[in-house]
Amino acid sequence: MKKDYIRFHDTGYFSKLMFDFLDENQEIQVFYNRYPKIENFKSQIEEKRGSFDSASRITLASALSKQYKKIESSELTIQNIESLKSENTFTITTGHQLNLFSGPLYFLYKIVSTINLSKELKTKYPECNFVPVYWMATEDHDFDEINYFSFKGKKLQWNRASAGAVGNLSTEGLEDVFKVFSEQLGNTQNAEMLRALFSKAYLDHDNLADATLFLANELFKDYGLVIIDANVAELKRGFIPIIKEELLEQTSYKCVSESNKILSESYSIQVNPREINLFYLNKDIRERIVFEDDLYKVLSTNISWSKSEILKEVSDFPERFSPNVIMRPLYQEVILPNLCYIGGGGELAYWMQLKNYFDKVEITFPILLLRNSALIQTEKQAKKLKKLDISLEDVFLKPDALINKKVREISNIDIDLSVQKNHLKQQFENLYHLARKTDESFLGAIKAQEIKQLKGLENLEKRLLKAQKRKLSDEVERMTDIQNELFPNGSLQERNTNFSEFYLEYGEQLIPDLIENLKPLKNEFTILTV
Has residue 407 got a pLDDT over 90? no
Show Cβ contacts of residue 150 under 8 Å, excluding neighbours closer than 6 positions. 104, 156, 488, 496, 497, 498
222-242 residue pLDDT tens: 999 999 999 999 999 999 999
Distance CA 254, CA 248 (A): 12
- The confidence band for 436, taking pLDDT boundaries of 50, 70 and 90, is confident
Give the integer Cα–Cα distance in Å for 94 and 114.
Answer: 7
pLDDT higher at 310 or 473: 310
pLDDT, tens digit, for every residue of 448-495? 888 888 888 777 767 765 666 565 568 878 888 999 999 999 999 999
Instruction: Give me the pLDDT at residue 176, please.
Output: 96
Residues in the chain, overall count: 530
Question: Residue 303's pLDDT band (boundaries 50, 70, 90)?
Answer: very high
Strand order in the sheet with 304-305: 304-305, 295-298, 285-292, 278-282, 321-323
Look at the pTM and tell me if it is higher than 0.85: yes
Distance CA 93, CA 113 (A): 9
Residue 284 predicted with pLDDT over 80 = yes
Measure the CA–CA gap between 101 and 147, rounded to whole angstroms: 9
Q: Give pLDDT tens digits for 175-211.
A: 999 999 999 999 999 999 999 999 999 999 999 999 9
**Residues 220, 511: contact at Cβ < 8 Å?**
yes
For the stretch 356-391, pLDDT in tens is 999 999 999 999 999 999 999 999 999 999 999 999
Domain boundaries, the chain: 2-235+509-529, 381-491
Of 360, 362, 366, 359, nearest to 333 by C-alpha is 366
> Which element (helix H / strand E) includes 377?
strand 374-377
Q: Which contiguous run of DSSP H or E holds residue 92?
A: strand 89-96
- Does an H or E element contain 295, and which? strand 295-298
Candidates 170, 190, 290, 282; CA nearest to 231 is 282
CA distance 369 to 419: 46
Q: Which residue has the higher pLDDT, 453 or 412?
A: 453
pLDDT of residue 220: 98
Is the pLDDT at 412 greater than 80? The verdict is: no
Q: Where are the alpha helices (DSSP H) in 125-239?
A: 174-185, 189-198, 208-220, 233-236
pLDDT tens digit sequence for 439-454: 888 788 888 888 888 8
120-156 burial, b at 16+ Cβ within 10 Å, e below that, comes to bbeeebeebbbbbbbbbbbbbbebeebbbbbbeeeeb
State residue 128's pLDDT score.
98
* pLDDT for the residue 458: 76
Q: Given a cut of 60, is residue 247 above it in pLDDT?
A: yes
Q: What is the pLDDT of residue 1?
A: 85
* CA dist., res. 47 & res. 41, Å (int): 10
DSSP 14-55: S-HHHHHHHTT-GGGGGGSSS-S-GGGHHHHHHHHHHH--HH
64/137 Cα distance (integer angstroms) = 15
Question: pLDDT grade, residue 437 (50/70/90)?
Answer: confident
